[in-house]
A and B are shown apart, each in its own frame.
Chain A
Amino acid sequence: MFFRYLSRELRRRSRQAFVVSLGLAVGIALVVAVSAMASGVEQAQGDVLHSLYGVATDITVTRSGAGQGPAGFRVGAGEDPQRISRDQVMTGPGQAPFDASEVDEIAGADGVADAVGGLELTLIHLNGKLPTFDLGQGGSTTGTNAAPQAPQSVAVTPGQLRVATSSLTGVDTSNTNLGPLAGTRVTSGRSLDTGDAKEPVAVLDADYAAQKDLAVGDTLTIRGTDFRVVGIVEASAQGSGGSDIYLPLAEAQTLAGLKGQIDTVYVKATSSQTIAAAKRAIQKVDPDATVTTSSDLAKQVTGSLSSAANLASKLGSWLSIAALATAIVLATLLTLAAVGRRTREIGTLKALGWRTRRVVGQVMGETLVLGAIGGAIGIALGVAGAWVVTKVAPSLTATIANGPTLAGSGGAAAGGDPFSRTISVALHAPISGSLVAAAVGLALAGGLVAGLFGGWRAARMRPADAMRQVV
């Protein structure tokens, strides 16, 4: 009787049932789609971190300070004073190197599964001809000479200088499962391994190698040191991040003049749930350190990824909440109106001896079914929306200006600021089981709220009150 009566009632009021279900469906669809996209944005933020620090890295530890900063270039003795070709290797602004022994302390912190040190550097290559200053009194000097005589006139011949920036990372070859190389895939040759610790070898990013026309077996010269290219890699994560040049840590330290120093510790937490706890533990171990998780990194990111994150967290959330609330209010009002129209019917049932609980159950059953139908349609619409987003996979860019690292790829060179980098990631909208379960719960809750109000009104009806409408 319960289900027969329920289904017939819903069929009788099919138009109203359709409106209620559709309203709930739109609300649920928005919740599902927006949540899926928010989850995708979160995943993209994770990709940005992984692209910067390797797929296994949950946390990075750096230390702020003056850093080495950009330095001047001196023309060496015996060279053409007007032509230069020089490399400068340095850590980034605001990033201070620290003793490599801190890795062990961090590795021992609670919630930390593994930790490895690295040295993220920027290689600035200056190449070309310096400008010429032709002094009116007959003297001539280049921009590198100091103390010019006070000239009456100066004729300047512009130089032709090209500045190229590349990222260079010193990798602890004893553990490449964590850190920058963990986020890469070997496309040619091999990766660095334990045996390379003190060898002048290099692994190059595929884009950088192509740009420099280098292949496995070729030699890369940095500050007069020849490095044999043993492998070419590309980022295996979604992001196009990663370093241009990977060297054994000791070699990078030598190049930068930072013996026994690192500037980044890559940390893997024991689980994704313990990241925050691990961060606190690391801060306890090393109060001076800057400890960055993917969610911290997200705050430093600008670009369309940041806009998408804001859109998902602010507009999207409010839109879905507003739509769902409107749908529930609509469902409640329509249910109240429907119960009001059924005064005679409900009064009759009570006069026949139906208990109030049974009448309320009948009303709530109807709204719960509407909630379930709305939920099913809403989930289908939401999943379809998320599928479209995943299929289209719009590209989002994340720009980290003066971020915690100097590591940069070709993107850094293309930008005006050599210390910022832009990473592009594809947006997906993953649908999880828990999201679907939450959507089902919300839809049923919507139906339940409408049913509670409708049931409340039905419960207040007395058989005599109902009869009074007709007698």
Chain B
Amino acid sequence: MYELDDVRKRYGNGKGGVDALTGVDLTIPAGEFLAIQGPTGQGKSTLLQLLGAMDRPTAGRVAYDGHDLGGLSERELTRLRARAFGFVFQTFNLIPTLTAGENVETALVGLGVHGSQRRARAAAALAEVGLDHRTRHLPGELSGGEQQRTAIARALVKEPRVILADEPTGNLDQDTRDEIVGLLESLWKTHGVTLVVVTHDDTVASRAPRRMRLEAGRMVDGAAAA
């Protein structure tokens, strides 16, 4: 599914520039659950952005299903994000003025799904993560775990091929963390999606069949954990 070949990413120019990725080679087969670990500031989130077509590499090649993402137009990248990728963020990134149901619906706007169909699919996604009773609640009325489950429903509702999660348990307590990781693992199994989780939490990473470590912008450990 993914083929990364000597991927480099540099922010800024000249001496003040920062090299976030310094040559990443990575292959991610379809349907894999991959955990990427590493200390803060080592390029984990940058790698996730490149995998999610949110940014382009400075050098190297990020291929998704054989397509070089760096060569796609902004419009094609937008369409790809809308169709193929679901995102789960550390801070949930829910729209505070929209209800849980409406937040889930936002993921279908880019696909052109309208009206009742959109609402029905959002309700089904929320039911799948156990939040069917919270559809009309605003994010501020939900607990941290419920907010992250809403975010997972938002990632899931478009039936993506890939779910990219960036520190999905970073803002949660231990019990909720286990609950969320369990939910992600369960969805990976039932939906057959490719799941890439960036985390510095060993407990979370240990649930993944394959673990990678990123240090100083390079993959330093490509061994399977399981």
Contact = CB atoms under 8 A, between A and B. Distances in A.
Contacts of A12: 96-97
Contact of B45 (A11, A352, A467): A467
B98 A353 contact: no
A445 B65 CA distance: 46
Interface string A347-364: 011111111101000000
B109 A351 contact: no
Given A353-B110, A353-B111, A5 B55 contact: no
Nearest to A471: B45
A105 interface: no
A358 B109 contact: yes
Interface string B13-28: 0000000000000000
Given A348-B93, A353-B81, A471-B45, A462 B54 contact: yes
B106 A464 contact: no
Nearest to A342: B95
Contact of B83 (A4, A344, A349, A353): A353
Interface in B165-183: 166-167
Interface residues of A, number: 26
Interface in B24-46: 45
Nearest to B97: A8
Contact of B78 (A348, A353, A464, A470): A353
B105 A463 contact: no
Contacts of A352: 81-82, 87, 106-107, 109-110, 154
Interface in A1-59: 1, 4-5, 8-9, 11-12
Candidate in A1, A4, A345, A356 with the most chain B CB atoms within 10 angstroms: A1
Contacts of B133: none
Given A12-B97, A345-B95, A462-B54, A1 B81 contact: no
Contact of B54 (A354, A358, A463): A463
A350 B55 CA distance: 12
A348 B78 CA distance: 12
B91 interface: yes
Contacts of B45: 467-468, 471
B64 interface: no
A344 B54 contact: no
B90 A471 contact: yes
B52 interface: yes
Contacts of A9: 97
> In the complex, which range does the number of interface residues on chain B fall in?
20 to 34
B24 to A, nearest CB: 16
B98 A5 contact: yes
Contact of A471 (B95, B102, B158, B166): B166
Given A344-B93, A352-B110, A471-B90, A4 B98 contact: yes
A354 B96 contact: no
A467 B110 contact: no
B122 to A, nearest CB: 11
A470 B81 contact: no
Q: Which of A4, A351, A470 has the most CB of B within 10 A?
A: A351
A449 to B, nearest CB: 24
Interface in B54-89: 54-55, 74-75, 78-79, 81-83, 87, 89
Contacts of A354: 78, 82, 106, 109-110
B79 A353 contact: yes
Interface string B156-167: 001000000011
B81 A351 contact: yes
B49 interface: yes
B89 A470 contact: yes
A355 B78 contact: yes
A468 B46 CA distance: 9
A1 B110 CA distance: 12
A467 to B, nearest CB: 6
Contact of B102 (A4, A355, A463, A467): A4
Contacts of B110: 352-355, 358
B106 A349 contact: yes
A389 B51 CA distance: 67
B1 to A, nearest CB: 19
B163 to A, nearest CB: 13
Given A345-B95, A352-B154, A353-B83, A1 B54 contact: no
Contact of A470 (B52, B90, B154): B90
A355 B75 contact: yes
A349 to B, nearest CB: 7
A470 B91 contact: yes
Contact of A464 (B49, B75, B90, B118): B49
Contact of A353 (B82, B89, B91): B82
Nearest to A344: B93
Contacts of A353: 78-79, 81-83, 107, 109-111, 158
Interface string B173-198: 00000000000000000000000000
5 contacts: A9-B97, A344-B93, A345-B93, A462-B54, A467-B89
Given A353-B81, A354-B109, 15 more contacts: A1-B118, A5-B95, A348-B95, A349-B95, A350-B78, A352-B82, A352-B110, A353-B79, A353-B110, A355-B78, A356-B74, A356-B78, A467-B54, A470-B91, A471-B48
Interface of B: 45, 48-49, 52, 54-55, 74-75, 78-79, 81-83, 87, 89-91, 93, 95-98, 102, 105-107, 109-111, 118, 154, 158, 166-167
Interface of A: 1, 4-5, 8-9, 11-12, 344-345, 348-356, 358, 462-464, 467-468, 470-471
